[in-house]
Amino acid sequence: IENDPQAADLLNCLADRVNKKHEDPKMQVDRRDFFDVSPSSYPEGFSAVLMNPPFSNAQEVEHVLHAWEFVKPGGRLVAIMSNAVMYRDTGRYKVFAEFLKRNGAEISKNPSASFKESGTNVETVTVVINREKV
């Protein structure tokens, strides 16, 4: 699910290449606002959710929490997030830290200036969360 039209088109081109090589699963990128999508739209859920949510105003926390609702049992969520998730302990980040701990998340630092080419020097981490099988 990608809101940016150019990014969605690029991702769908990549998905088309993958789909030509593999019969299952079929990849598709839906172009719309992520928060307009309900987990009930995808009742089977997803075995993998990969994301790079916006960081400003702690939006990343809301995005990951919403995305978690789409991960099926035995699935995995991987998100690029600001390193704020490692040290902020108030407001949304406090609740998020508890969520990460409860779900056994793994957090690893990304190299400094990983997104310099994109115009930002925000320090980032990769967060991996596995949903337990039922």
The pLDDT tens digits for 32-43 are 898 999 999 889
Q: How far apart are CA 14 and CA 31, in angstroms?
A: 14
Would you say the pTM of this structure is higher than 0.75? Answer: yes
Short-list 54, 102, 47, CA closest to 81? 54
The string over 86-124, giving b where at least 16 C-beta atoms fall within 10 Å of a residue's C-beta and e elsewhere, is: bebeeebbeebbeebeeeebeeeeeeeebeeeeeeebbb
User: What one-character DSSP code corresponds to residue 95?
Assistant: H
Instruction: Write out pLDDT tens, residues 73-128.
Output: 999 999 999 999 999 988 899 999 999 999 999 999 999 988 888 878 889 999 99
Task: Please determine, for residue 20, whether its predicted confidence score (pLDDT) is greater than 80.
Answer: no
> What average pLDDT does the segment 42-64 reach?
91
**How buried is 18 (Cβ within 10 angstroms: 0-12 exposed, 13-18 middle, 19+ buried)?**
exposed
Task: Please determine, for residue 26, whether its predicted confidence score (pLDDT) is greater than 80.
Answer: no
Q: How far apart are CA 82 and CA 99, in angstroms?
A: 16
> What average pLDDT does the segment 49-58 reach?
90
